[in-house]
Amino acid sequence: MAWARGLGLLLVLLPVVGASKPGIVVRLNKEVLSYVAEVGKVPLQQALQVPIPHFLDRSGQVIQPTRIQILNVHMPYLQLKFIAGFGIRLSAATNFTFKIFRVPEPLHLMLPVTLLADTLVAQGSIGTPVVSISACYSLFNKAVVFDGYNSTAPALLAPLQKHIKAVLQNKLCLRISNLVQGLNVHLGTLIGLSPVGPESQVRYTMINAPNVTKDYISFDINAVLFLLGKPIILPMDATPFVLPSHVGTSGVMATVGLSQDLFDSAILLLQKAGALNMDITGQLKLSNNPLNTSTLGQVIPEVARQFPEPRPLALKVRLDAIPVVTLHTNNATLRIQPFVEVLAPDSDSAFQSLFSLDVVVNLSLQLYVSEVRLQGTTSVLGNVQVTVASSNVGFIEMEQVQSLMGNVFQRPLLDHLNALLSIGVALPSVTNLRYIAPEVFVYEGYIVVSGGLLYQR
């Protein structure tokens, strides 16, 4: 299974729910193959230590059963490469060291074997990747006897080698095939929902067969975000997302393209879940806190008349309008339009509405990847635009109120948004996989994540 999980890096970001076009394109470049071969070499060597049945020595007058044991399997060469339009080819030079328990003294010999296996990568019926061995060959070279050569009769050595080769011919490819079947079980764990928040999840699925070239294998993946078990549905765009050939960092293991649709779904999920809503409450005991009726009464006389004694204010921030994410080359922005209601407690501690504001905030969006999650931070671009929606305290001088509201509203808003964005969205992945030195690039209408991969057992 360890080797299967090593090979699983080749299909690392594959997932799971049908749709007509991809929201994510995952491209595993040829550079990942060397890493997979390195990770998988030891487990594969262990798997190839197959049991050898006793050899029946017929060279004497009495048939003698002779025990044979594999002492070591050494793989000096292991290569994986993409086969365009098909899948992955494994080539390995393997040296098997045997101990022959003959009488009067044991015999040691080494048998070089070349292993060739072609693995087809396809789409399964339930949207998971499926791999299978389509062809496998074991090519044997001449055995090398380490000791006892002069005392070993050719009549024994020739049938002994024939016996060993016959056993390995059947068992080696079977062991490789079994490992690949184990890989399918491992990849099947990709089906399911990955949490985005307490009541929201993301689910991925392959939507067609992978595209294999000599340089990479590419998967079109659909991402569906769920809120309380219901999918977030966006208007269908007839134009599918296609990841250009030369984007991100060259020479990395993985290149992941994330479409505008994915970001639209994620921000719509936050909006529908109410996660973008917030309440800002003033505290009278805190020094330099302008969120109170005394400070507001200095610019709105009616507030001072209604509340001669200072009382804390509360801002009820609600986002009924859907936020807009815009992706331009080297520039990602987020535009939100919150509705802000300013409240103050009356004599019986019930809150009454003083006035409400329509607010427009343009934010710069900085994205990064931590382990397997896409996360972000924001900062305000330009001035926060504020207009009065309604007022229960008469005329409001917007210039003075805008300055005051900017001071008490902007920092809590940024803290709230950055806390949400720091949770992030899990990218398609398998257990124990991490990105190494990932970089995020912003292009027109999509994001690219480029980086290495690390599989931790």
Looking at the predicted structure, is the pLDDT value of residue 120 above 80?
yes
pLDDT, the chain, mean: 84
Dihedrals phi, psi of 249, to nearest 5 degrees: -95, 135
3-state SS, 252-292, equals: CCEEEEEEHHHHHHHHHHHHHHCCCCEEEECCCCCCCCCCE
Please give the residue that has the higher pLDDT: either 129 or 415. 415
Looking at the predicted structure, is the pLDDT value of residue 174 above 90?
yes
Looking at the predicted structure, is the pLDDT value of residue 150 above 80?
no
Give residue 4's pLDDT: 41
The DSSP annotation for 279-340 comes to EEE--TTSTT---BHHHHHTT-HHHHHH-SS--B-EEEEE--SPPEEEEETTEEEEEE--EE
- Stretch 155-166: mean pLDDT, rounded? 85
- Stretch 15-19: mean pLDDT, rounded? 35
Q: Are 131 and 119 contacting, i.e. CB atoms less than 8 angstroms apart? A: yes
**pLDDT bracket for residue 379 (50, 70, 90):** very high
Q: Are 267 and 335 contacting, i.e. CB atoms less than 8 angstroms apart? A: no
Give residue 19's pLDDT: 40
Amino acid at 186: H
The per-type count for the chain, helices as H runs and strands as E runs, is 7, 24
User: pLDDT digit string (tens) for 24-69?
Assistant: 999 999 999 999 899 889 989 999 999 999 888 766 555 667 899 9
**pLDDT bracket for residue 136 (50, 70, 90):** very high
Amino acid at 292: N
Q: Are 111 and 164 contacting, i.e. CB atoms less than 8 angstroms apart? A: yes
Give residue 189's pLDDT: 62
Quote the Cα angle for 105-110-115, to 5°.
150
Taking residue 302's Cβ as centre, other Cβ atoms within 10 Å add up to 17
pTM of the model: 0.84
- Stretch 237-263: mean pLDDT, rounded? 85
